[in-house]
Structure 1
Amino acid sequence: MLVLDEEQTRAALPWPELIEAIAHMFTGDCVMPVRHHHEMEVPNEESATLLLMPAWVPGRYAGVKTVSVFPGNVRRGLPAIFGTYLLSSGATGEMLAAVDGGELTARRTAAASALAARYLARPDAEEMLVCGTGRLSLNLMLAHGTTRPIKKYRVWGRNGQAAEKIAAEARALGLNAEAVADAQAAARTADIISCATLSSEPLISGAWLKPGAHLDLVGAFKPSMRESDDDAIRRASIYVDTRAGAISEAGDIVQPLKSGVLKERDIKAELAELVSGAHNGRSDDAEVTLFKSVGAALEDLAGAILAYETVTGRK
């Protein structure tokens, strides 16, 4: 059985190929049951979450990802997310690979956002703001830079030193990046705003979004969490990775639905409809768009298959 650690997983998932693999999976015949979502008590700190995400392509591949999310790890200097992806044959059940789940999750999440931005962000988007200083932040910058001509990256976080660290890592990779202390000022000029946090209170106000802005929300994966306010929901055309996931798990969607600010019919399309051409996405240069991602098991399966086939040369 192939075992890929974090570095090997990263090397096996180049951005252009990963984005295309996810796009292909969204239009294929992947079977994706509802994922298991369990809250785990952690004494004297925030509760953790255990996720189990199965998916399979009949006769080809099957897999399941186990992920734990421990918000309190930020105080221990540890990543919030740990996990493993187990890939097996969809024809025989033979175990084929164990892929580092944290790296796979970070890269496929960023790749899915970049895929959505291909349809929702302005083609000439040049300035990006990233809110959050976790593992996803740098991945989001790199992924979006694959699909849009980003020239300036800004990083905001509650911890200014952590924001500067991410900006420095981005600069080391050749990106024009800087940390900022004023999220509002940075949001007002940004073409793309990506939020990747565990916030329970809105970080971005709709009043800050300029005409043509694209708001990409990839954190806040529980109904109690939220990264955008009601004004953003009112101003934007709303898109999601999957309707089923967004309306049951994503606070940025669940809370406005509950209050009546948003109706289910107001959700323009899910990612599969964008990729298939069933919906065209952005309608004009002034439209404000919002994409809410909670993660889909087929994205993990697409990444695991790509990593396995890249390393082994098998198809």
Structure 2
Amino acid sequence: MLVLSEQQTRDALPFAGLIDALAAMFSGDCVMPVRHHHDVSVPGEEDATLLLMPAWLPGAYIGVKLVSVFPGNTRRGLPAIFGSYLLSSGKTGELLAIVDGGELTARRTAAASALAARHLARADAKRLLVVGAGRLSQNLVAAHSAVRPIEEIAIWGRDRAKSEAVAGEARAAGFNARTVTDLEQAAREADIISCCTLSEAPLVRGAWLKPGTHLDLIGAFKPSMRETDDEAVTRATLFVDTREGALSEGGDLVQPIRAGLIGAEAIRADLAELVTGRDPGRRSPDEITLFKSVGAALEDLAGAILAYRNHGA
């Protein structure tokens, strides 16, 4: 049995291969039951979240991810997300590998956003704005740069020191990155806006979006959370990773639906429909596109299988 550390998991999941692995899994026969999502009280601070996400390819692989999200960890200098992934044989049930869940989650999440951007962002998109300075932000820089000719990267976060650290890491990796303090100005200039925060209130306003912008929303994974306002949702053509997940957990869509501003039918396509060509994706250069993801167990399974195979190779 393999046990892959954070670094080994990172090395085994290059974004080009991971994005393709997710595309194949979304177009395949993965079985994905409803995930378990539990609020866990933490005395004196915000509630934590416990996630259990199973999925399997019949006769090939079975996997389950166990993840905890503790927002209060940011004040302790710890990552908000911890987790492990258990990959087993789909023929015998034998445990094959334990993969670092935090790194797997960060990389497959960024890869899913990049997969969507491959279909939804303009082909000439070169300015990327990352809203948020947590663990996922660095992965988003690399993932989006794997599918679009990104030349300029702006990092905005509430904590300037963390934003500077993210930008510095991006520059060390060869990207042209800088921090910004004026979120509105940065959003008005961006071709792709990728939000990865734990915000409870809108950060990016629809009035700021220029024609042709692609908006990538990752962080608001509970109905009570928002990263954009209603105007952004009503101006954009809407896409999701999975309808079931986004309509039950994605606050950026759940809240305007509950308010009667849009209906569930406003979602034009999910990732499976995009990667199989059932939906053409972006239809015009000026179209504003919005992709809302809350995560799907098949993404973890795709990443875990790829990590297992690459490490073994």
Work out whether the TM-score is over 0.5: yes
For residues 169-188 of structure 1, the aligned pairs below 5 Å read 169-188=169-188
Offset of residue 183 of structure 1: 0.5
Report the counterpart of residue 242 of structure 1 in structure 2: 242
Offset of residue 90 of structure 1: 0.4
Offset of residue 163 of structure 1: 0.7
Encode CA deviations 1:177-197: one digit per residue, 9 max, x unaligned.
000001000000000000000
Report the counterpart of residue 204 of structure 2 in structure 1: 204
For residues 33-182 of structure 1, the aligned pairs below 5 Å read 33-182=33-182
Encode CA deviations 1:230-287: one digit per residue, 9 max, x unaligned.
0001100000000000000010011011001111111000000000000001000000
The whole-number CA distance in structure 1 between the counterparts of 2:108 and 2:279 is 22
Report the counterpart of residue 194 of structure 1 in structure 2: 194
Report the counterpart of residue 281 of structure 1 in structure 2: 281
The whole-number CA distance in structure 1 between the counterparts of 2:57 and 2:222 is 28
Which amino acid in the other structure matches residue 290 of structure 2? L
Which secondary structure does the structure 2 equivalent of 1:68 belong to?
Answer: strand
Query: RMSD between aligned alpha carbons?
Result: 0.4
Report the counterpart of residue 297 of structure 1 in structure 2: 297
Offset of residue 6 of structure 1: 0.2
The whole-number CA distance in structure 2 between the counterparts of 1:40 and 1:149 is 41
Offset of residue 311 of structure 1: 1.0
The whole-number CA distance in structure 2 between the counterparts of 1:81 and 1:40 is 14
Encode CA deviations 1:93-146: one digit per residue, 9 max, x unaligned.
000000000000000000000000001000000000000010000100100000
The whole-number CA distance in structure 2 between the counterparts of 1:310 and 1:159 is 36
Offset of residue 82 of structure 1: 0.1
Offset of residue 203 of structure 1: 0.5
Number of matched pairs? 313
Report the counterpart of residue 262 of structure 2 in structure 1: 262
The whole-number CA distance in structure 1 between the counterparts of 2:250 and 2:266 is 15
Which secondary structure does the structure 2 equivalent of 1:19 belong to?
Answer: helix
Which amino acid in the other structure matches residue 208 of structure 2? W
The whole-number CA distance in structure 1 between the counterparts of 2:237 and 2:220 is 19
State percent identity of aligned pairs. Answer: 67
Encode CA deviations 1:13-52: one digit per residue, 9 max, x unaligned.
0011000000000010000000000000001000000000
Offset of residue 81 of structure 1: 0.2
Which secondary structure does the structure 1 equivalent of 2:300 belong to?
Answer: helix
Offset of residue 208 of structure 1: 0.3
Which amino acid in the other structure matches residue 163 of structure 1? S
8 Å Cα contact 1:9/1:307 also seen in 2:
yes
8 Å Cα contact 1:15/1:111 also seen in 2:
yes
8 Å Cα contact 1:156/1:180 also seen in 2:
yes
Offset of residue 160 of structure 1: 1.1
Encode CA deviations 1:196-221: one digit per residue, 9 max, x unaligned.
00000000000000000000001110
Which amino acid in the other structure matches residue 96 of structure 1? L
The whole-number CA distance in structure 1 between the counterparts of 2:241 and 2:293 is 5
Which amino acid in the other structure matches residue 174 of structure 2? G
Report the counterpart of residue 310 of structure 2 in structure 1: 310
The whole-number CA distance in structure 1 between the counterparts of 2:13 and 2:172 is 20
